[in-house]
Amino acid sequence: MADQPSSTIRLAALQMVSGPDVTANLREADRLVASAADRGASLAVLPENFALMGMHQRDKLAVAEDDGAGPIQDALAAMAERHRLWLVGGTIPIKGADDDHARAACIVFDDRGMRRARYDKIHLFDVSVSEGETYLESATLEAGSTPVVVDTPFGRLGLAVCYDLRFPELFRALSARGMDLCAVPSAFTAATGEAHWRVLVQARAVENLCYVVAPNQGGRHPNGRETHGESVVVGPWGEVLDSLARGPGVAVADYDPHRLRALRERFPVLAHRRL
């Protein structure tokens, strides 16, 4: 790993332009995780749908895995162990209650490849972005219901996914559970990303005085979908610490727990809540 100040932890947001070939996507994910590790990252976060952006909505059902077992989960565990970092595995399809639905599961592995948490996307993207661009995630996905914060060696890590960004009450629930930093794997559309992506990520950081690692899909996919990109790492004062425009790559920045603690002591907005 590259040198970094001893008091800080390097965070990495990994941007992809995933397609319908799971094997190719996993190979690209491993390349980006290796790049993040080479740049000194202790925590790397993959984007939503990193392992599959299918040609059709139901394609995810064919690769949905049992919870705790499957080639995508095995690959994530191996990446985390091989590159000796904590890895937030974007989202992968995990089998749901019936054959027609999966869960968009965000699974966290530690630097030994051990699974530490799973969060299922709560807010599903059933939206008409424009007259010709409509999404109905609930047709093939089941919504989760439980906010998740996981203990890590560098702080309490909250988990959210893409459309969750528009629901600040979820982040308040994560904050109430002691969140210090948050991972938000995403695949924002080009249109909604241009309008709202950065301001939403910054708002969630400012409101909760936390770091946010927000990797995005970023480019034109084989299925014709275009995603926004602009993966970012944002600090607790809302400052963009690093970003990446479009295309595959890595955005990195340092998380300073001492700075976070001092800021929260000087500016105790979280303790001032009344509702």
- pTM here is 0.96
* 5: pLDDT strictly greater than 50: no
Catalytic residue among 106, 162, 182, 210: 162
- Report residue 219 as tokens: 């480019």
The DSSP secondary structure of 49-79, one letter per residue, reads: TTT---SSTTHHHHH-BBTTBSHHHHHHHHH
Q: Does the active-site annotation cover 194?
A: no
Average pLDDT, the chain: 96
* 7: pLDDT strictly greater than 90: no
Q: For 99-157, what is each residue's pLDDT tens digit?
A: 999 999 999 999 999 999 999 999 999 999 988 899 999 999 999 999 999 999 999 99
Q: For 182-220, what is each residue's pLDDT tens digit?
A: 999 999 999 999 999 999 999 999 999 999 999 999 999
Q: What pLDDT was estimated at residue 131?
A: 83
Catalytic residue among 65, 106, 121, 230: 121
Q: How far, in whole angstroms, is CA 261 from its chain's centroid?
A: 23
**Confidence label for 70 from pLDDT (cuts 50, 70 and 90):** very high
**Region 242-255: what's the mean pLDDT?**
98
Catalytic residue among 48, 65, 137, 230: 48
Q: For 144-161, what is each residue's pLDDT tens digit?
A: 999 999 999 999 999 999
Domains of the chain plus CATH, in order, are 9-266 (3.60.110.10)
Q: For 234-247, what is each residue's pLDDT tens digit?
A: 999 999 999 999 99
154: nearest Cα among 269, 256, 52: 256
Helix (H, G, I), strand (E, B) or coil at 122: coil
**Confidence label for 168 from pLDDT (cuts 50, 70 and 90):** very high
CA-based angle 62:65:157, to the nearest 5? 130
Residue 218's φ and ψ, nearest 5 degrees, are -150, 80
- Kindly provide the b/e burial profile for residues 80-100, where b requires at least 16 CB atoms within 10 angstroms of the residue's own CB: bbebebbbbbbbbbbbbeeee
Q: Does the active-site annotation cover 81?
A: no
**pLDDT > 70 fraction of the chain, expressed in percent and rounded:** 98
**Confidence label for 1 from pLDDT (cuts 50, 70 and 90):** very low
201: nearest Cα among 220, 188, 217: 188
* 2: pLDDT strictly greater than 50: no
Q: Does the active-site annotation cover 121?
A: yes
